[in-house]
């Protein structure tokens, strides 16, 4: 899926999210979540650890957003509270998995070029956001090193709690802020050198274009959703 057109994948992601949002059948949502999970793990070969880490926020939100329905006696449709809670939780997980599949199989630079040169999005906004995304790994590494340094200053024999709290020192935020300001200046200079502030015509390089594979993939996704919808309502 990494070679498919990013705008086609974005449109299909919105279609799938809309489908999951409107679905009221828990089994339907569970099957959709299972299919997407298999696509990530079996087809895209996503590491299990990365899959679990990416899904963790959605699982947390699914639990915290659905428990209140579980204690309700019934809703206007006559469902029990647990039925509503299950549907809400599975819907959250399905939407999260759709987002993960799109993010994991889409190159941000390709998406940015397609948004700018095919949909007419602002170059400053798109490429500025792209620069910020590309700086996230280095910022995470900087945060990791800062935590290691802060914990190294803790006296030997200290408790695990103190070591953990040392990694949350306010100085860590100052280090990250200083690094972000430094990177923002570098990114601004790089974008100026690439002519993002110029008013003349803009050039493009390797702008993604849809092809036959995109049409086949879109047809397969629509057919899958239609089959799933029909099978759950027979």
CA–CA gap between residue 146 and residue 189 (Å, rounded): 27
Residues 93-103: what's their mean pLDDT? Answer: 95
Is 224 contained in some domain? no
160 domain-assigned: yes
Residues 84 and 170 in one domain: no
Domain of 119?
Answer: 111-193
Distance of CA 164 to the CA centre of its chain: 28
Number of domains in the chain: 2
Point out the domain boundary residue: 49, 75, 106. Answer: 106
Q: Are 123 and 202 in contact (CB under 8 A)?
A: yes
Does the structure show a pLDDT above 80 at 118?
Answer: yes
Q: 9 pLDDT band (50/70/90 cuts)?
A: very high
pLDDT tens digits, residue range 155-193? 777 777 777 777 676 767 777 777 777 777 777 776 666
> How much is the average pLDDT of 82-108?
92
């Amino acid at each position: 899926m990494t070679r498919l057109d990013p705008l086609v994948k974005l449109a299909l992601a919105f279609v799938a999210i809309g489908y999951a949002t409107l679905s009221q059948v828990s089994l339907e949502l569970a099957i959709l979540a299972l299919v997407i999970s298999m696509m990530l793990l079996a087809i895209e070969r996503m590491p299990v650890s990365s899959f679990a880490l990416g899904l963790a926020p959605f699982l947390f939100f699914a639990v915290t957003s659905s428990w209140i329905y579980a204690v309700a006696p019934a809703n206007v449709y006559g469902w029990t509270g647990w039925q509503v809670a299950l549907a809400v939780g599975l819907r959250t997980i399905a939407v999260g998995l759709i987002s993960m599949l799109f993010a994991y199989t889409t190159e941000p630079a390709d998406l940015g070029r397609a948004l700018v040169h095919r949909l007419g999005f602002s170059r400053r906004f798109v490429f500025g956001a792209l620069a910020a995304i590309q700086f996230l790994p280095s910022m995470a590494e900087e945060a990791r090193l800062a935590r290691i340094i802060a914990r190294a200053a803790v006296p030997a024999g200290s408790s695990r709690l103190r070591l953990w709290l040392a990694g949350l020192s306010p100085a860590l935020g100052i280090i990250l802020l200083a690094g972000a300001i430094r990177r923002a200046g570098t990114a601004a200079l790089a974008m100026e050198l690439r002519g993002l502030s110029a008013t003349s015509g803009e050039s493009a390089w390797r702008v993604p274009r849809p092809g036959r594979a995109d049409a086949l993939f879109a047809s397969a996704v629509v057919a899958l959703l239609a089959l799933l919808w029909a099978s759950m309502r027979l």
